[in-house]
């Protein structure tokens, strides 16, 4: 292994260690948005499959805030890394498969599920409208 590769691996390892799974900027943005709309929610209910980021119990609604890279969204930010693909391809594929299983399990149990992608949060108004429509009591 070249010195440059070891430095790169060390730097990547440190970056990965800093990445949080809860309380991320996108999640906090959605939480503030939902709260400002007057909705109240619970965080990551452990009794539900996948521990959704926001849970609206009486409405039987759950919101997941997904990072485009980690959950492989079909956007610019969701592309696979070019290095170490033997590691990344199966890891990210497992995330995508788990997302499908979790969503199916929730829907089979009568829950409505909304996935908000990190890249969608650039358009606050559109995201707020999607959330409002998803949570509104009058659903056709």
Q: Which CATH class is domain 21-135?
A: alpha beta
Contact status, residue 23 vs residue 32, Cβ threshold 8 Å? no
Buried-exposed string 87-121: b where 16+ CB fall within 10 A, e elsewhere: eeeeebeeeeeebeebbeebeeeebebbbbbbbbb
CA 121 to chain centre: 12
pTM (predicted TM-score)? 0.82
Reported as a single tens digit per residue, the pLDDT across 1-14 is 554 555 566 776 66
Q: What is the pLDDT of residues 56-101, one digit of tens each?
A: 999 999 999 999 988 999 888 888 888 888 888 999 999 999 999 9
């Amino acid at each position: 292994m070249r010195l440059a590769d070891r430095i790169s691996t060390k730097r990547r390892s440190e970056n990965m260690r800093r990445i949080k799974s809860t309380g991320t900027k996108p999640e906090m943005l959605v939480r503030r948005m939902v709260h400002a709309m007057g909705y109240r929610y619970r965080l990551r209910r452990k009794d539900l499959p996948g521990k959704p980021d926001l849970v609206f119990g009486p409405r039987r609604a759950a919101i997941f805030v997904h990072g485009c890279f980690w959950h492989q969204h079909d956007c610019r930010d969701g592309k696979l890394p070019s290095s170490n693909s033997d590691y990344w391809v199966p890891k990210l594929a497992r995330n995508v498969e788990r997302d499908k299983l979790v969503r199916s399990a929730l829907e089979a149990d009568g829950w409505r599920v909304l996935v908000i992608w990190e890249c969608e949060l650039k358009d606050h108004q559109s995201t707020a409208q999607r959330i409002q429509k998803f949570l509104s009591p009058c659903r056709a």
